[in-house]
Amino acid sequence: MLDLGVALDLIRDTLTFRPGTTELLRLGGNALRLAFWVLLAAGLSEAVGESVVLFVNRVSPRRFVISLLISAVIFAVTYLFFALSVYLVARYALDRQVAFSFVAGIVALGQAPRLFGLFVFLPYLGLPVSVALWAWSIAATVLGVAEGLRLAPLEALLAVALGALLLITMQRTVGRPLLLLARLVRRQAAGVRLVTDARGLRELIDADPDAGLAPPKPPRRTRERTRRSGGGQR
């Protein structure tokens, strides 16, 4: 197992774009396992950041936790398919003889900026934070692909862009059943029909607000006095 200090250094170097992060991944073993744990943790952090939807839909605590874990797994699987797309482009378009596990490790570790995905929960700042983390992770992935596969920066950018395009094409064709399955699993985990659009969420809050969202009730004594005074006026 990697020493904690080495693991933290690897994550820090990825976040700060320092060269040399792919050399440990090339050795495989614990470094690759760390990369995949980073990917899962990033998915969980993003799920926490977007959990306001689960709160508003009043998902039970147990199902709330299950939904977060399932979202993290779906996030990780999605990026492994993205890694496969990048690998195919590098292998057959750019003629790079590399192992898929190595490319998957680069893509997985490149999602380290998404460890801060929980901050998407912040009011008003959620969208800018999400866009910034996405751009940060893309930059880390491109630099990792360039270093690990010994490509020029433009070639690495091309590999990542074509990989993303290939993934989108797969999602809209042969991968459509998998997307439907992922939605079904999310719905089953939540236990309720999830409302995700902004208008629907507002209507859900207005229709039955939680205790913290509902207007405060007057104290009991005040209500009794009001009732008595009303009776006296009659």
Q: Give me the pLDDT at residue 211, please.
A: 44
Q: Give me the pLDDT at residue 183, please.
A: 72
Q: Give me the pLDDT at residue 195, please.
A: 56
Query: Vertex 70, ends 16 and 107: CA angle to 5°?
Result: 30
Separation CA 146–CA 132 (nearest Å): 21
Q: pLDDT by residue (tens digit) across 160-171? A: 999 999 888 877
Which residues, in sequence order, are CB contacts of 152 under 8 Å at separation 6+? 146
Contact 159, 94 (CB under 8 A): yes
Residue 195: name the closest of 211, 176, 181, 208 by CA.
Answer: 208
Number of C-beta neighbours around residue 10 at 10 A: 22
Separation CA 196–CA 54 (nearest Å): 9
Q: Give me the pLDDT at residue 83, please.
A: 94
Contact 124, 130 (CB under 8 A): no
In this prediction, the residues of the chain whose per-residue pLDDT falls under 50 are: 211-216, 232, 234
Contact 145, 159 (CB under 8 A): yes
Q: pLDDT by residue (tens digit) across 103-141? A: 999 999 999 999 999 898 887 888 899 999 999 999 999
Tokens standing for residue 44: 């969980």
Separation CA 118–CA 145 (nearest Å): 26
Separation CA 6–CA 165 (nearest Å): 34
Its pTM surpasses 0.85: no
Residue 122 Cα to chain centre, angstroms: 15
Contact 96, 163 (CB under 8 A): no
